[in-house]
Amino acid sequence: MPNFLLEIGTEEIPASYLSPATEFLVKGFEKILLENKIGYKEIKSFFTPRRIAVLVKGINERQEVWEEEVIGPPKKVALTEDGSLTSQGKGFLLANKAKEYYWRETPKGEYLFIRKKKGGEKTILILASLLPSLIFEIPFPKRMRWAKDGIAFARPIRWICSVFNGSILRFPFPNIRVGNFTYGNKNFKKRIVLKDAKDYERVLKKYKVIPSYEERRKSVLNKANGLAKKVKGEILADSELLDEITNTLEFPVPILVNFAERYLSLPKPVITAVLKKHLRALSIGQGDNLLPYFIVFLNNPLGKKSEVKKWYENSAESRLADAEFFFNEDLKRGLENFLLEEKKVIWIEGLGTLYDKTERMKKLVEKLGSYYPEIDREGLQKATLLSKADLLTNIVREKELTSLQGIMGGIYARMAGEKEVVFQAIGEQYLPIPKTKEGALLALADRFDNIVASFLKGEIPTGSYDPFGLKRMADTILGIFSSHHLFLSVDEPIEFLLGEFSSTDLSLKEKILRFFGERVKLFLMEKGYRYDIADSLISLSPLVPYDLEMRAEALKRFREERKEEFRTLVIGQKRAKNILREAERKGIAYSEIVNPDLLREEPEKVLFEKGKGLEERLKNSLKERRYLETLELLLTLREAIDKVFDEVLVMTEDAELRRNRLSLFSYIKSLFYSFCDFSLLVLEGEEK
């Protein structure tokens, strides 16, 4: 079976653009092939800084052939009284090149139908018509325009290689003649004719290009480890840097470079950050210690390594000397001396300074910390006071090593003699999951403050729009709640901060809570809980994410271990909700307050008594979070609920009795709702 290759050759594309663009191209191909019923065996993707490509293996030369039913004119229009076709009927057959037809009843009456064969078109014709638009639809954060007719792409397109079964698959493209040629490493100028798509990887490797990202990354890692072993070390793990290096190379050539040992007196994070940011270099360590070496990669297999090495040595000396100077200047000044400068730095326009943010965070961590007597509250306050000071230090601010925020604060606090809880919390505040509880509470205060402030400024995430990363912040908050088993509500910090900002917008809290509810649902689903379990929990108030996680686990176990009883519980609550909804639709008022004197039928009396008898035990099981016990208690109401449904007419003509019976169901619903909204749980057979 044939293969098809499409390669878009460009000037060097930024590293971060490549993977998303290639993923889009692959999905676009899959969609084209699926919608046009073109069979294939496999799609492989490739990308380097100078090319994005897909290889479709085992692609069919023609699309499938299938039959479609085509509707014609109605019988009264298409058929004469003597049973022959009218001109309209004949015209329909002629237009569709059909001879056989039949009649079929539809909701609008009887119509003329034919079965028409479709498909069978050549794959090359379909692809030729669709590929130009697919290429132009590839998304990039920023685009360049370089041609008179306004072509826009990440970088100028220099060639397009399109080969189907050994031949060129041509399609129209502005200013470029689509061909069967490609180019190797940028240091090789020779045009390479590709005779067959299946030869793509082999040919490019011959000309010093490894087109597969996975293979190239593995090569970078293996070569780096090999050089590190020569100096009895190992490269420091940094997946982000490894990805970046891989995406800036076509053929990795490693170089081992050393720097002056005196710079090892600098904190390890400073050295590795400088080498990463300014030299895109992998650092080398030995145990907990850093070695005075680093590894860089050359993209030119013909390059002179000695000259390149010298350049990197000089660059490292310059960058590390700057870092050493700034670090020593920061130490002389001391972290606390940066606090006054926070008053001069606008944090968010209209929402105060960095100092104001720190003051809010101090109040919030005090509030959150009051729930945990085991923490060092004094140490947490000091950590919060100093938490943002390092943003104004020379290393972070002047040297622009923003990746060291928090880390440098922790280092400076430790070197200033602060106790361990202080410098640990400062250093952990930006981690996804801080190790200490103090660090966790500081991280929560920071992120809650950012989220509330962003909502106040109208920067509310919608779909893919999330310029300040609020979704990621919210997810981090939920992860911290879960990892540290914190039974904190989302409501309290939001209310507190809105008060601190003097917000009078009453709807803002609801917007933020709705946002968190959406994140909690996704968080629970990622934990392996069904969507309907998440739906049944997120409307509870206040919103306590870790508590919801425990309830979700109890529901999951109950559903799996007590299937029939679970089903009965849910059905009962769905019936109750339907009755109450119907009453609301008819405008019938009711409440959760039941008048015992109006309970006339024995089943409704029994249900009310059982509910009242259950209240205290239910309250205690919820308070102590014995959630399987809570479900067992609710289960004891099952027979009484069923008996009311079977033997009592709820929607009786007597308005007073009807209102009281609706109130009874509303009361019972409130007992169930104290755990979750059971009516939102989906049973087998009613899946969405």
Mean pLDDT, rounded, for 387-393: 96
Place of tokens 């449904």: 645
- Residue by residue, DSSP assigns 272-306 as HHHHHHHH--EEEEETTEEEEEEEEEES-TTS-HH
Burial grade of 84 (CB within 10 A; 0-12, 13-18, 19 or more): exposed
Nearest residue to 257 (alpha-carbon basis) of 217, 230, 239: 230
Please indicate whether residue 475 or residue 505 has the higher confidence score (pLDDT): 475
- The pLDDT tens digits for 7-53 are 999 999 999 999 999 999 999 999 999 999 999 999 999 999 999 99
Contact in structure between 279 and 294 (CB atoms under 8 Å): yes
Secondary structure class of 118 (helix, strand, coil): strand
d(CA 658, CA 589): 10
Burial grade of 503 (CB within 10 A; 0-12, 13-18, 19 or more): middle
* pLDDT at residue number 149: 66
d(CA 430, CA 325): 26
686 pLDDT more than 70: no
| Position 66 confidence tier, pLDDT thresholds 50, 70, 90 | confident
Torsion of CA 326, 330, 333, 337, to 10 degrees: 130
d(CA 147, CA 150): 5
Contact in structure between 318 and 372 (CB atoms under 8 Å): no
d(CA 566, CA 538): 20
How big is the chain by its Cα radius of gyration, in Å?
A: 34
Stretch among 459-468, 556-565, 660-669, 679-688 having the lowest mean pLDDT? 679-688
Secondary structure class of 190 (helix, strand, coil): coil
* pLDDT at residue number 300: 83
Secondary structure class of 38 (helix, strand, coil): coil
- Residue by residue, DSSP assigns 85-106 as B-HHHHHHHHHTT----EEEEE
- The pLDDT tens digits for 82-112 are 889 999 999 999 998 888 999 988 888 899 9
What type of residue is 637? L
Please indicate whether residue 453 or residue 576 has the higher confidence score (pLDDT): 453
Tally Cβ neighbours within 10 Å of residue 305.
13
Mean pLDDT, rounded, for 456-483: 93
